[in-house]
């Protein structure tokens, strides 16, 4: 980016009876370390699906009074939304309701290293 900027990271996790299927709650495993008040914040996420995680994160970070807060996602599935009014400002691609591997996405730590995105067929 040709503008002055800083990077920070968060790590979130769901918790509940079955973490990979539950949306009972979301918790921070790692919070941002920089002050957000008065700063323009851009959240970067690989996939926005139901919107539950992004909704939690954006509402939590909004309490820290950023000048603006928007999100960018590589892949979007707006038809799976459970939450309206998400701050998604930039989207790379809208993808179908299928499972994808490659280009960093994996299934059980497999196929992450594929150089392109591929739709996984049922096994």
Enumerate the active-site residues.
Answer: 49
Give the chain as a 3 state SS string.
CCCCCCCCCCEEEECCCCCCCCCCCEEEEECCCCCCCCCEEEEEEEEECCCHHHHHHHHHHHCCCCCEEEEEEEEECHHHCCCCCCCEEEEEEECCCCCEEECCECECCECCCCCCCEECCCC
């Amino acid at each position: 980016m040709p503008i002055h900027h800083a990077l920070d990271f968060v790590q979130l996790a769901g918790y509940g009876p079955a973490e990979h299927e539950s949306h009972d709650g979301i918790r921070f495993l790692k919070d941002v370390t920089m002050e957000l008040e008065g700063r323009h914040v851009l959240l970067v996420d690989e996939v926005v699906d139901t919107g539950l995680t992004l909704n939690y994160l954006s509402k939590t970070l909004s309490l820290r009074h950023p000048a603006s807060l928007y999100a960018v996602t590589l892949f979007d599935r707006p038809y799976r939304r459970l939450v309206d009014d998400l701050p998604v400002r930039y989207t790379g691609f809208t993808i179908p309701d299928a499972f994808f591997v490659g280009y960093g996405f994996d299934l059980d730590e497999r196929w992450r290293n594929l150089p392109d995105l591929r739709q996984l067929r049922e096994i």
